[in-house]
Each structure stands twice: as structure tokens, then as C-alpha cells.
Amino acid sequence: MKRAIYSVGPFTGLRVYADDDMSRPILHIDPCAHTDLLKLGRDAYGADTLRLVIGGEEYELPARRLAEDILAMLELVTQGGKK
Amino acid sequence: MELLIIAGTVGKDAVLRRTSNGLDRPNDAVLSFQVAVDQGKDKSGNRRDAKWYDASIWGKRAESLQSYITKGSKLTLHGRPTAREHQGKVYMGIAVSELAFQGGSQQRQQDDQSGGHQEPTGGASYGGGFDDEIPFAPEWRV
């Protein structure tokens, strides 16, 4: 199991990086993909860990924390960045 | 115009307040929290003290994000640098315009706590270099 880290924001969407290679993301979901992100957030909310299998490698992420961060980001996206 | 970008860990749960009616922005919501930014290690390998920033988010986003910005949240913040002076000390701050959330695998966090963490070698700054021992409020804020 390889380690992964993520960044999620209203302009960047969700980006997941392998811990040992942050030069490019192994997964990127655009912030415009509201439905996909919402589904991922809801699915992850009830789980302990989220396992991603990408390119033959298996990565692990903290599901609950990721879900909360995705849902927080979607709050910003649905407001259209209003201040 | 100045732009400040910091990545760090939230020290305490964010607090939502409202401005009073007499100000320029009457009854506007403002979300306040403190962020500790890891300063890495010095030449002799000793960890430097984290640098603390007072962060503020205004408007609708402040109300929306209150429940999500909690102690231990890892954030990257973009915004305008601010500073205030109190009893001869200067405290740095940031008026947030953009933010992103970061996180990592459980294994990584456990390594961080046991001191086995290594800085990432890649070019991106997101998510790297955090110290899980940081999210405690400094004495002057208690």
C-alpha cells in the first residue's frame, strides 16, 4: 500500500498525489464535476479509509477527512466563489 | 498589491463573528482562526518554531466554512497579508481570498507523529511538510 496526499479546493478540484512523487497528480477531478465529487464525498463519509487503485498501485487515504474537505469545497463551488 | 500564500495547520476551531452595524461592512460575517506554518529545520537539524498567522474569511463563505475549519485542518491559503501590533509584538495575518484543503494517508500522519516524516522531493508544495504536533494554540492566545 502506497501513501497518498490530497489537495481539494474550489478552483483546483480534487488532486491526489503519490507521497513519493508530487510532480503530477495520480488523480484529478475537476471542480466542475459536482455530481462526481458529491458522490465521492458521500461514499467516503461513512468509511474509515479510501483505497485507490491506479496504474497497478494501491493508495490509501483517510476517507472521513477527505469527505469533509470535499463537502466544504463544494459549499464554496455552489456559491460561485461569492464573498 | 501583495499576495501571501501559506500552507499550514489550524490551531483551534474557527470562530464566526459578525461586525457591528456602525462599521463599513455592517453585520458582515467573519470567520477567524489561527494557522501554524512549519518552518522546517535549521542547519543543525533542530526544528524551528512554527510561525502563526491570524486568518480571516469574510462574507457568505465564512458562514459556510465554519463547521469545516477545525483544529488540525490542513489548509493552503491565498490572500492579502495583514499585520497588527499588540503590546509591542507584531502578529502576522492573512485576509483569505482562496483556500484549499489538504490531507494524507493515515500511515503518513503516524509517521509524522513518530518523527519519521521526510519532506517530499517533488516540486508541488501541497500537503507536504506539516507537523502534527503543531496544532496547539500558543500561550498568548489562551
Model pLDDT for residues A35-83, shown as the tens digit of each residue: 899 999 998 888 888 888 988 899 999 899 999 999 989 887 776 555 5
In the 8-state DSSP scheme, what is residue A30? Answer: -
State whether B104 and A20 contact (CB < 8 Å). Answer: no
Q: How much is the pLDDT for B126? A: 33
Q: What is the pTM of this model?
A: 0.72
- Among chain B residues, CA nearest to A21: B122
Query: Is residue B138 very low, low, confident or very high in pLDDT (cuts 50, 70, 90)?
Result: very low
State whether B98 and A65 contact (CB < 8 Å). Answer: no
Cβ(B102)–Cβ(B7) below 8 Å: yes
Cβ(B56)–Cβ(B30) below 8 Å: yes
CA distance A19 to chain B (A): 7
Q: What average pLDDT does range A4-12 have in this prediction?
A: 91
* Cβ-nearest to B127 among A7, A12, A72: A7
Residue predicted with more confidence, B47 or B137: B47
